[in-house]
Structure 1
């Protein structure tokens, strides 16, 4: 082979090698999994990272229920816990800490679904699968469990229209939506608007920072000043904490009777307001099946097994994520007994303090 032929052969080989490498890279981006396969038997160490402690559900229900179901499936498994207290940077550090401690799997409820993606990638590269809990984190998550969040919004919207009746066309509603960094907030809002648009006039709409009741109170006060108290016929509040802030502002603003106000999470204070009539409804989301689904996913992934899920969803970064979605329930004073009390979320003694004794008696709670 002469020098010219050798140069042609070398160039052809280089091009072929480059094409092969490029193809491999593209395949990985299109859905290749960098996490090494593993089959582990015996006890697992599971990281549990929850987003905040402003909403009572996370510390009072999600954390103990997930731990309970993990232990039921794997008595010797260990759960390492962290709460980010609404700080995305803190949660990123917590993921890094779980990677350093070499946990087997992470259950993650993201503070900010987009910014956490790089942390999820680091966990994936370290061979640690991530279960997205309640909020769909971006990055290569291996499983997801939550509620049908657009249906949550639709449930709220339908309930508000039912409460308004003929008054739906006689004034304006105020929308107090959830925190923009929470992907669920956008789904709640989208679901609610799919029901409300064209049937009510939306006078003001706010996205409430970190779901804070004080922020909701301030926004509601601003809406009353801007629209006038006589123009407001209803309030869409995305959760119970914000509903409480809104109701306080409505009372201070002199609205009597109060317009119907929605909520979500069936927090104790929210249930009490529903019974007293201050809040029209909440959304009861049974945490037990959601926590159980997360525990099952985590144990399976930690052992290198496939996730058993009834559905799949796509995130902005990952396609076909195995998913279990739980159906939400509209909670009104008529079904408190058959929902949150019957399911053991709240005891009658928790709900029916002296202040709410008359309302409880009227609802048949003893």
Structure 2
């Protein structure tokens, strides 16, 4: 039986990270240079949004504070268009305020990675009321009516997580293991898609009595501290948990920390997603079974390419479509392929440039990096 945990998450004062290119004074479609200026709060601002980007938070994954801003900024500057990149820091009202501010300043295109569908839909409706197109980035806004959706094949992500977990459990020769599922946020449609994917695989093993279905809970807002508490309760309820399907690297690490306290790390396979430095280090240490590498640069470049075209009043064709499960409408979908990462191919993530050997192979992990062929 699937269980859910209702949790109250304390809210505090939130900050905003801003990266903005200076408007070069050219019309859309001109190819003048784009620069950047630093504001008093440490961001970069030109006073015009041009292409506005709103990212969700800085806690759930390193990508939102480090990777996506870096790649989007590079793509916009290569395209010589004005842009503004902001982070809502987990605040849904701030998310809407940022969008309203960008639109007031004349944004011609919005790219949003929503915190939930309700606030995402409010932003899309606001933009559409001003004839501004919106690209859903990484997360589909349910019943939102975005003009485009750019993401990875998220059900495939879940399938890869489950398939690799099955392989890890078989390698450990665990007889009828109890599998715990530590899902993402219940308000994030991606978490639903990941779960659809991994349940499709794991349910076969549950039904055949090869595995035993253990605790199955969502983690509000992808909060890793909350995930740690949830998994701690899971392990108390099911002390013989044999495997953990954790939806991303942050939640995987939360489970590993609890397992480490019981000296079970490395004995109980744990999954992840995002190929974070922390997740890859856990893999090198033998504490994490796998992660899923979603090459964020591909996703950022694809979203930026769409946005730049729209900014220049060009409506780009997109081959795939995704059906919104709530509205039934089809959204043009730029679909990207994820890649499973185990200790055998951690090196590939480094070779891609997504993480550096220096950041990954600290003193604690240097020997493991050498064994993995990472120099």
CA distance 1:212–1:258, change in 2 (3 Å):
farther
Q: Deviations over 1:344-363 (max 9, x none)?
A: 01111111111001111111
Moved >6 Å (runs of 4+): none
CA distance 1:363–1:302, change in 2 (3 Å):
same
CA distance 1:71–1:259, change in 2 (3 Å):
same
Matched, 1:234 2:239: no
CA contact (8 A) 1:133 1:145 kept: yes
SS at match of 1:261: coil
Equivalent residue in structure 2 for 1:161, among 137, 158, 166: 166
User: How much has 1:206 moved relative to structure 2?
Assistant: 1.1
CA contact (8 A) 1:169 1:201 kept: no
CA contact (8 A) 2:183 2:191 kept: yes
Matched, 1:189 2:200: no
Equivalent residue in structure 1 for 2:317, among 308, 316, 324: 308
Structure with larger Rg: 1
SS at match of 1:93: helix
The equivalent of 2:358 in structure 1 is 349
Give the number of aligned pairs: 323
Matched, 1:333 2:343: yes
CA contact (8 A) 2:320 2:334 kept: yes
User: How much has 1:168 moved relative to structure 2?
Assistant: 5.7
User: How much has 1:118 moved relative to structure 2?
Assistant: 2.3
Matches within 5 A, 1:256-295: 257-295=266-304
CA distance in 2, matches of 1:257, 1:70: 42
Q: Deviations over 1:53-77 (max 9, x none)?
A: 011011211111011112222x1x1
CA contact (8 A) 2:95 2:119 kept: no
Is the deviation greater in 162-171 or in 209-218?
A: 162-171
SS at match of 1:317: coil
Q: Deviations over 1:118-137 (max 9, x none)?
A: 22111011011111100012
CA contact (8 A) 2:161 2:245 kept: yes
User: How much has 1:257 moved relative to structure 2?
Assistant: 4.7
CA distance 1:185–1:288, change in 2 (3 Å):
same
The equivalent of 2:253 in structure 1 is 244
Matched, 1:170 2:180: no
The equivalent of 1:103 in structure 2 is 107
CA contact (8 A) 2:266 2:288 kept: no
CA distance in 2, matches of 1:258, 1:210: 28
Mark the runs of 5 or more structure 1 residues left unpaired by the alignment: 1-38
Q: TM-score, normalised by structure 2?
A: 0.83
Matched, 1:64 2:70: yes
The equivalent of 1:221 in structure 2 is 232
CA distance in 1, matches of 2:317, 2:71: 20
CA contact (8 A) 1:309 1:322 kept: yes
User: How much has 1:219 moved relative to structure 2?
Assistant: 1.3
CA distance 1:221–1:169, change in 2 (3 Å):
same
CA contact (8 A) 1:46 1:78 kept: yes
Per residue, is there more helix in 1 or in 2?
1
CA distance in 1, matches of 2:101, 2:328: 24
CA contact (8 A) 1:113 1:135 kept: no
SS at match of 2:118: coil
Matches within 5 A, 1:110-189: 110-138=114-142, 139-165=144-170, 167=173, 169-189=175-195
Mark the runs of 5 or more structure 2 residues left unpaired by the alignment: 1-26, 32-48, 206-210
CA contact (8 A) 2:149 2:332 kept: yes
CA contact (8 A) 2:248 2:271 kept: yes
Over the aligned positions, Cα root-mean-square deviation in angstroms equals 1.7
CA distance in 1, matches of 2:159, 2:86: 32
Matched, 1:253 2:262: yes
CA distance in 1, matches of 2:315, 2:297: 22
User: How much has 1:101 moved relative to structure 2?
Assistant: 1.1
SS at match of 1:98: helix
Q: TM-score, normalised by structure 1?
A: 0.84
CA distance in 1, matches of 2:362, 2:118: 42
User: How much has 1:256 moved relative to structure 2?
Assistant: 5.8
CA contact (8 A) 1:140 1:318 kept: no
CA distance in 2, matches of 1:107, 1:317: 20
User: How much has 1:140 moved relative to structure 2?
Assistant: 2.6
SS at match of 1:116: helix
